[in-house]
Amino acid sequence: MHNLQDWMVIPTNDRHVKELSQNKLELEQYFKVCVDCWESIEKCYNKKQTYQLAQQQNIPIPKTFFPQSIEDLQDIEIPFPCIIKPAVMHLLYEKTKKKVIVCNNKEDLIRGYIWVQSIIPKDDIIVQEIIPGDSEQQYSACFFFDRTKPYVSLLAKRKRQIPPDFGKATTFAETVHEPHVIMDQAILLLKCIHYWGLCEVEFKKDTRDNEYKLLEVNPRTWKWHSIANRSGSPFLISIYNSIYFNEPITKNDWEKAYWRDLITDVLVNIKTQGLVKSFNSINNYESGIEDSVFDRSDVMPFLFELLYLPIIALKR
């Protein structure tokens, strides 16, 4: 009806990743599915599997436990506050609008575990230490990866997010070229998974020991992937060329670039820096920034976003 035969399908959230990956063989009769097979994807989709693989490869992770009962919680040696989080993020978030449950003491931990166990399977529950520090210490290694090597890559610092502690979304990101160890660790993990496709591998620097610790792997595009327009990183055209012509573009260097979700980043800036500093921050990057929606040559999408902002806020 719509003549979509052989169109590319690229997932933008975790649920879509699972549905496309698990049904890849059937869907490929009709579409070009830009997702790896479930055997590889599940190792990223399920954080328990991701962390276990990371430990096998000596990639640092936060102190992490996989309790099977309340009794297991009694023996956990973990600094408070800590968090309870799901192995599969969207299963908890869709029902509670919470990414994690913060526990300030053992009583909170037990109470939180009982509550989370009533929402998701106990096998999917993770207890993890909180790495101190703000989002200035958060990094993402981004790739179009081909089993053993990256075709396209960049490294970025996710400087601001909303909410600031356990962010639901990045509001400001900038490309960086250091530290190399993050890229090395990310590539090692993806090679171990034998991963193919687009992905974002998240790390946070632990200032207590100066190690960069793995947080998660997102086997899909990330919210701020359009930073590639400024950094000169051809993620989408490379995967397009690979799928249709078997001629991917290889580019593993990148320019200095910034990305911003203007409305939410202004709110985060005002909350953390005040109105004057927030205004100055907006103007600092005017000539070299990729905005998520705002564009002087076409302001209509931005105006519609303003109109829909109350609905977006309620849904989040």
Q: What is the dihedral of CA 183, 189, 190, 194, to 10 degrees?
A: 150
For residue 126, the 8-state DSSP code is E
Distances (CA, A) of 234 to 53, 95, 160, 219, 258: 29, 36, 24, 17, 16
Q: In what order do the strands lie in the sheet with 82-86?
A: 64-65, 125-129, 82-86, 101-103
Q: At what angle do helices 262-273 and 275-284 cross, to 10 degrees?
A: 140
User: How do strand 289-291 and strand 258-260 relate by DSSP bridges?
Assistant: parallel
Distances (CA, A) of 162 to 42, 86, 167, 194, 266: 27, 19, 5, 32, 11
In this predicted structure, what is the pLDDT of residue 288? 77
Q: At what angle do helices 38-45 and 47-56 cross, to 10 degrees?
A: 90
CATH of 135-315, one of 3.40.109.10, 3.40.50.10490, 3.30.470.20, 2.40.440.10: 3.30.470.20
Amino acid at 249: I
In this predicted structure, what is the pLDDT of residue 311? 75
Query: Looking at the domain that runs over 63-129, which CATH code has it been given?
Result: 3.30.1490
Per domain, the residue ranges of the chain are 63-129, 135-315
Q: Do domains 63-129 and 135-315 have the same CATH topology?
A: no
Q: Tell me: pLDDT of 285 over 70.
A: no
> Tens of pLDDT along 34-46?
999 999 999 999 9
User: In terms of pTM, does the model score above 0.75?
Assistant: yes
> Tens of pLDDT along 235-284?
999 999 999 999 999 999 999 999 999 888 888 887 766 655 555 555 56
